[in-house]
Structure 1
């Protein structure tokens, strides 16, 4: 989650230790001043052109108290995501403006008791106000409408199985008895061919846990984004090859393509996918917490489309602990998913840690897939490359699952659910699935396959980028996609055979 934090404007630049500007007596011909903006405040900051992004974030933590793992630095519409890259690698020069976006994941727990004696436990982000405005009891059910201040996410946990919660309504103050009595199953059965864009919650009783949708127009760099980021001028998102406003589609697509071991599921089957992506759909919804520039009073015209994902019980995320205790199979299921989906945003903060069974076995839950299936491989990053489990071979069961994957079937499935996926994104899915399957056939580890997809440095193309470029240069203009993919396959075989030897 991204939030603003109120800061008093700083008049004194934040200096790197050991040097200051020339007016202070210590000079460095490689030092530049940049400006950080957060919540409307601007902070001048001296940095070295040869300084790493990780170093800049650490000094922000030291001087301003914002923990490194909660920071996102954005420059020129691109997140400075590679911590080992240098300031100059991102073309950050004297006087440039960087946006500091902070993620706040600490949750407070509050309990609400309804007039009919029901209890609900809510998990709410710190420093956000939540108010109970409506408590309606009908028979044994309770419907609670919440007012949530801007950017707060609410996750609800009914304490009794016969009570369900509705926090999403298409008409905030206008719901009929008939609508309130409709079950989730009835709404799913309504459409024989549910469209990814047309899931309608008006209101839907979501049980047992939910979180508020992420509207497409409030994504980073979208027109109504609440983080204060500039609006994208060319439609590209924070990650290369992604488009502003398509993050919600990718979130839903990630769930659809996370097939169980038995194969593709129907959305109402409830089967858990191989990687464990939480159930996710697109929803049209209206809520006071959304960012409406003209005010919420304009409702119901302010209905928004966003991804709606089931809240999963967890004990934190992978960035809160070391990877040594993570089961190998749990890590491997995420590595296979990320490689296949060409995930451009897999860091430890978007893998939740849960425990299941009497032995409290660790289960990893991947979330936040708004940057999957990009149009190119430039920004692919996998946190698990640095984990020891990535160096261990895939189990026979995982290899069998990977061999069963079919990119053409997946593309047809996404189109069936309403995503008119672009040629560039389909090419990414075909090539990444091809790489994953060819890699496991040769007994390569997830580390080796993942390293092929990720750049070593910011400006050095990855092996997979080189394969795609070489294939593109080898065919004549106007040749079919099938010819291009066959060329990619031949070049990939050659590269993988070299690695195998």
Structure 2
């Protein structure tokens, strides 16, 4: 994940968001409500407004930049900016849930000696005085802000000091001393701070160092034992499965960090619950855990999104609670160059999907509104990175790196590929390496929401290399379906069909010399309501075969229709 964050924001002004007055009485004017962290803000728009236009109105009133906004209505993300709100079925009285992506937030996790934990987000433009007030407001047991002293590297910080100035270096350490009631210590965890609040005991003693500053006497103040994660184990449904070393190491380092008392850090990115787990030293992230009950529109989703009424996820053809399966499937089907995943000892595959496994984990640091219980979810190795592809233009990306992402997305029919979920790092040769993450919306049951941001990058118009073509030729959808079943996911017929058809298209496309741009355009809709070419191919095959035809007969019909359509495009 990149350093950018996504959170639900409370409104910063009370007045309604409105369109110009001469539109108010138009028959096309509708009243909608923008939900922000539990608050409802009325807003008048035109039914022929685009999604971008609505976001621009929100920006005008609230100051939230358009590119940092996500809108969800009726359980579906309004992802196509140039589509009209009426195309998504938005009508009078509907509620749009606003989720904001902010890059300048400092996440502060506060732990108490009694085991309580709470989190708040501080904009880097805030000052030290604001931080002190936030801490004082969180718990009544804490002292007032004017009773707190804040020191950084031995220097006392005045209330007017900005967080941005303090956090310029990732190794900056802030020590917060709360006189009389508690001591607060903080240390940086990359771009976040983890604070521990230790309430003093009756026999606590405080001494002064030579500079006159108060310091705690560690010999006289015993530390409370840290909370321990009592469960972290892989979900193994097939006794024939041998856990690879890379997965064993991932689970081991994650468990060690939890057992050392390092609380999971909830990411402020995305629309579901995702937690960074630290290593034993507490200085490095080793994994990301995504519980299935905290997925978007799931029962314990921490972002305030409504429950799914029919079980469908934010993207068409996906199901709430299946994100972990799809995350794991993306790793398993990302076969290495030298062979199938089940027979290769390589940790990373052709596209570089991070090692991923489904686990059961019990820890109080997750979202437990109804009591602490074990959670099932995907555990993925955290990959060191220099940000996401949103942080720079695509011109510097190597062609091969873009193409490996394209191959993965097209065969998996990814419904959520954007620049924010492609990380960047540097290889040993200094070249940029792209790392694909967030595959909870791959292998959907339909092609309706398939989207690829890389379609608009110049590398997509370049032909595949011979090495990539050979890799594509080696792909086998039937073997992939069997592999996933071996690991415990008996795919729904519709998802298995998607994998077969997308793999078929990719292989037939490279046979005709088509570029990623051309093949990707076949899979993606030009507009929200205009079916893509691949959808037309599927529908034509469905219209041709008899109702009781076998799946093999249907796929053979798809193959014939696809050959004809591809020949029209290629020649």
When normalised by structure 1's length, the TM-score is 0.80
Aligned counterparts, 1:228-307, within 5 A: 228-266=304-342, 269-294=345-370, 298-299=371-372, 302-307=373-378
**Residues 453-484 of structure 1, C-alpha deviations (whole Å, 9 max, x = no match):** 01111111111111111111111111111000
1:413 aligns with 2:414: no
Matched residue SS, 1:365: strand
**1:438 CA drift (Å):** 0.1
CA distance, structure 1, for counterparts of residue 98 and residue 28 of structure 2: 23
1:330 aligns with 2:395: no
The answer to whether the Cα contact below 8 Å between 2:333 and 2:480 also exists between their aligned partners in 1 is yes
1:159 counterpart residue number: none
1:122 counterpart residue number: 189
The answer to whether the Cα contact below 8 Å between 2:448 and 2:531 also exists between their aligned partners in 1 is yes
The answer to whether the Cα contact below 8 Å between 1:257 and 1:410 also exists between their aligned partners in 2 is yes
**Residues 422-462 of structure 1, C-alpha deviations (whole Å, 9 max, x = no match):** 11110000000000000000000111100010111111111
1:56 aligns with 2:54: yes
CA distance, structure 1, for counterparts of residue 548 and residue 226 of structure 2: 56
Runs (5+) with no aligned partner, structure 1: 114-119, 134-143, 148-167, 173-178
1:346 aligns with 2:417: yes
1:14 aligns with 2:17: yes
Matched residue SS, 1:292: coil
CA distance, structure 2, for counterparts of residue 412 and residue 170 of structure 1: 34
The answer to whether the Cα contact below 8 Å between 1:380 and 1:454 also exists between their aligned partners in 2 is yes
CA distance, structure 1, for counterparts of residue 105 and residue 333 of structure 2: 30
2:241 counterpart residue number: 193
2:229 counterpart residue number: 169
**Residues 165-205 of structure 1, C-alpha deviations (whole Å, 9 max, x = no match):** xxx83349xxxxxx9xxxx9xx99x9651599x99958734
CA distance, structure 1, for counterparts of residue 287 and residue 377 of structure 2: 11
**1:263 CA drift (Å):** 1.6
**1:82 CA drift (Å):** 0.7
When normalised by structure 2's length, the TM-score is 0.71
**Residues 95-153 of structure 1, C-alpha deviations (whole Å, 9 max, x = no match):** 2111112345657556899xxxxxx962355xx865489xxxxxxxxxx9988xxxxxx
**1:316 CA drift (Å):** 1.1
- Going from structure 1 to structure 2, the CA distance change for 1:291 and 1:401 (only over 3 Å counts) comes to same
- Going from structure 1 to structure 2, the CA distance change for 1:212 and 1:336 (only over 3 Å counts) comes to closer
CA distance, structure 1, for counterparts of residue 85 and residue 398 of structure 2: 36
Aligned counterparts, 1:362-373, within 5 A: 362-373=432-443
- Going from structure 1 to structure 2, the CA distance change for 1:267 and 1:279 (only over 3 Å counts) comes to farther
The answer to whether the Cα contact below 8 Å between 2:403 and 2:516 also exists between their aligned partners in 1 is yes
2:36 counterpart residue number: 38
CA distance, structure 2, for counterparts of residue 86 and residue 421 of structure 1: 34
1:219 aligns with 2:307: no
1:485 aligns with 2:555: yes
Q: Which has the larger radius of gyration?
A: 2
1:374 aligns with 2:444: yes
**1:94 CA drift (Å):** 1.8
Of 422, 433, 442, the match for 2:503? 433
- Going from structure 1 to structure 2, the CA distance change for 1:318 and 1:267 (only over 3 Å counts) comes to farther
Greater shift after overlay, 274-283 or 201-210?
Answer: 201-210
**Residues 226-264 of structure 1, C-alpha deviations (whole Å, 9 max, x = no match):** 111111111100100000000011001101111111122
**1:491 CA drift (Å):** 0.1
Matched residue SS, 2:475: coil
- Going from structure 1 to structure 2, the CA distance change for 1:394 and 1:472 (only over 3 Å counts) comes to same
Matched residue SS, 2:21: coil
1:403 aligns with 2:470: no
The answer to whether the Cα contact below 8 Å between 1:375 and 1:425 also exists between their aligned partners in 2 is yes
CA distance, structure 1, for counterparts of residue 365 and residue 381 of structure 2: 18
Matched residue SS, 2:255: coil
**1:282 CA drift (Å):** 1.0
Matched residue SS, 1:210: strand
The answer to whether the Cα contact below 8 Å between 1:77 and 1:237 also exists between their aligned partners in 2 is yes
- Going from structure 1 to structure 2, the CA distance change for 1:247 and 1:145 (only over 3 Å counts) comes to farther
- Going from structure 1 to structure 2, the CA distance change for 1:389 and 1:6 (only over 3 Å counts) comes to closer
Runs (5+) with no aligned partner, structure 2: 107-169, 175-186, 199-223, 258-278
- Going from structure 1 to structure 2, the CA distance change for 1:437 and 1:319 (only over 3 Å counts) comes to same
1:83 counterpart residue number: 81
The answer to whether the Cα contact below 8 Å between 1:452 and 1:464 also exists between their aligned partners in 2 is yes
CA distance, structure 1, for counterparts of residue 394 and residue 225 of structure 2: 40
**Residues 295-327 of structure 1, C-alpha deviations (whole Å, 9 max, x = no match):** xxx43xx10011111111111111111111111
Matched residue SS, 2:527: coil
Matched residue SS, 1:236: coil
1:475 aligns with 2:542: no
CA distance, structure 2, for counterparts of residue 488 and residue 250 of structure 1: 25
The answer to whether the Cα contact below 8 Å between 2:13 and 2:62 also exists between their aligned partners in 1 is no
- Going from structure 1 to structure 2, the CA distance change for 1:267 and 1:97 (only over 3 Å counts) comes to farther
